[in-house]
Amino acid sequence: MIIEPKVREFICTTAHPEGCRENVKQQIAYVKAQNIKKGPKKVLVIGASTGYGLASRITAGFGCEAATIGIFFEKPSNGKRTATPGWYNTAAFEEEAHKAGIYAKSINGDAFSCEIKEKTIDLIKKDWGKADMVIYSLAAPRRTDKNGNLWVSSLKTTKEAFTEKSLDLRNNTIVEKTVEPAKPEEIQGTKKVMGGEDWMEWIEALKDADVIEENALTVAYSYIGPELTYPIYFDGTIGQAKRHLENTAKVMREKFPKLQAYVSVNKALVTQASAAIPIVPLYFAILYKVMKEVGNHEGCIEQISRLFKEKLFKESVPTDAEGRIRMDDWELSEEVQRKVVEAWKQVTTENVTEISDIEGYWEDFYQMFGFHLAGVDYTKDVDMEVKIPSID
């Protein structure tokens, strides 16, 4: 059938298998051209199907020729609805990896559960012996913990209500949006879902089962962003969760002294997770415009291949005073932020297309779901039921 995008505010409810394949292929081609050289051999990627996790899997697989096991939570097609983009991305990734003789297997299920941790451990034992790198790139709205408690993540402030300009994604107009303060249980819920507890549980489970090298590298992704978005991000519920994640890296290093545990603070980019944060999409659209003009705009694959090439596998990993790797260095540079603030003050519905890269924002958005990719014939019939080779 012919698949078209169906956009509802910050989500697209369809995905295009051929477009997702093209997207993965373009990322593979980019990574191969980077000549990364040094890297890991056996990499477990938790949250491997879209955004930063997919870029990490592609960088490990095609930049370093590493074997990868990818964990994610995606839906296959049921014959009526398309699969989710992460499903199609993974099918394409595995096919390309197998063609290139690179090991790639995947597990679809709830990474927070004991069942998926056990399944992963069994697979590592059977096929690898031990993993030498674990990338933690989950972005989830809720988590059932190992005791059966359900936690829900929120995107709210932790102090007073916050009102700012925002992009109404339904019609590209500039509106004012108020984000309400969180109740204590919402802060706690966000920390439980997006903080470091589950990352630690993964590492402990892998250690207990003896399926991770003693000096393995583990990396989780965080975000800080500019002062402009502090009330909703850095000082908001999600920021509290990220501080917990960052602290978990420290706790891990103390508990397992030979383990190299890092948090990488990445750049703001349109992904399924970030498009849902209020106020932030307008910042993205302005940031894209400024960084493209300055000449240092990056997408997920550029960020992660730079992380591998220039940070993770150096003699000593460069970090800030808090021990974090800063991939947001270019985003937070004085020049970029000064220009972002100037544009933010000026932006209105009338001038939003000139002042911000709203077109670039939407191009990234559509491409996440496999649409608007050059070289794909969207008028052709496609089969939406696609198999991931390693999943029955």
Task: Provide, rounded to whole angstroms, the least separation between the CB of residue 267 and ligand NAI.
Answer: 6
Count H helices, E strands: the chain? 12, 13
> For ligand NAI, which is the closer residue by CB, 120 or 157?
120
Dist. CA 384–CA 2, nearest whole Å: 9
> For ligand NAI, which is the closer residue by CB, 213 or 390?
390
* 103 catalytic per annotation: no
DSSP assignment of 230-270 equals TTTTTTSHHHHHHHHHHHHHHHHHHHSTTSEEEEEEPPP--
Its sign, for the CA torsion 241, 279, 154, 9, is: negative
Which residues ranging from 111 to 140 are in contact with ligand NAI (CB under 6 A)? 111-112, 137-140
Q: List the one residue from 271, 305, 356, 367 that touches ligand NAI (CB under 6 A).
A: 271
Task: Provide, rounded to whole angstroms, the least separation between the CB of residue 111 and ligand NAI.
Answer: 3
Burial 361-391 (b: 16+ CB within 10 A, else e): bbbbbbbbbbbbbeebebeeebebebebebe
Q: How far is CA 241 from the centre of its chain?
A: 15
| Site map 75..104 versus ligand NAI, x via CB under 6 A | -----------x------------------
Q: List the one residue from 223, 283, 330, 366 that touches ligand NAI (CB under 6 A).
A: 223
Tokens (6 digits) for 206:
């892998």
> For ligand NAI, which is the closer residue by CB, 78 or 144?
144
Binding region for ligand NAI (CB under 6 A) out of 9-17, 21-29, 72-80, 154-162? 72-80
Closest CA to 11 of 170, 236, 134, 189: 170
Per annotation, catalytic residue among 103, 233, 262, 283: 233
Burial 185-222 (b: 16+ CB within 10 A, else e): ebbbbbbbbbbbbbbbbbbebbeebebbbeebbbbbbb
Q: List the one residue from 64, 71, 282, 290 that touches ligand NAI (CB under 6 A).
A: 71
Dist. CA 39–CA 60, nearest whole Å: 7
Q: Tally Cβ neighbours within 10 Å of residue 109.
A: 15
Which residues ranging from 2 to 41 are in contact with ligand NAI (CB under 6 A)? none
> For ligand NAI, which is the closer residue by CB, 218 or 271?
271
Q: List the one residue from 133, 187, 269, 373 that touches ligand NAI (CB under 6 A).
A: 269
Cα 352-354-359 angle, rounded to 5 deg? 75
> For ligand NAI, which is the closer residue by CB, 73 or 313?
73
Dist. CA 66–CA 59, nearest whole Å: 9
Task: Provide, rounded to whole angstroms, the least separation between the CB of residue 379 and ligand NAI.
Answer: 28
> For ligand NAI, which is the closer residue by CB, 10 or 73?
73
CB 153 within 8 A of CB 62: no
SS3 300: helix
Task: Provide, rounded to whole angstroms, the least separation between the CB of residue 336 and ligand NAI.
Answer: 15
Dist. CA 71–CA 86, nearest whole Å: 11
CB 333 within 8 A of CB 290: no
DSSP assignment of 216-229 equals EEEEEEE----GGG
Interface size with ligand NAI, residues (CB under 6 A) = 29
Q: List the one residue from 153, 190, 274, 305 that touches ligand NAI (CB under 6 A).
A: 274
Residue showing the smallest CB distance to ligand NAI in the complex: 51
Q: List the one residue from 17, 39, 47, 281 that touches ligand NAI (CB under 6 A).
A: 47
Q: List the one residue from 19, 39, 53, 239 that touches ligand NAI (CB under 6 A).
A: 53
| Site map 179..218 versus ligand NAI, x via CB under 6 A | ----------------------------------------
287 binding ligand NAI? (CB under 6 A): no
Catalytic residues: 233
Binding-site ranges for ligand NAI (CB under 6 A)? 47-53, 71-74, 86, 110-112, 137-140, 221-223, 266, 268-269, 271-274
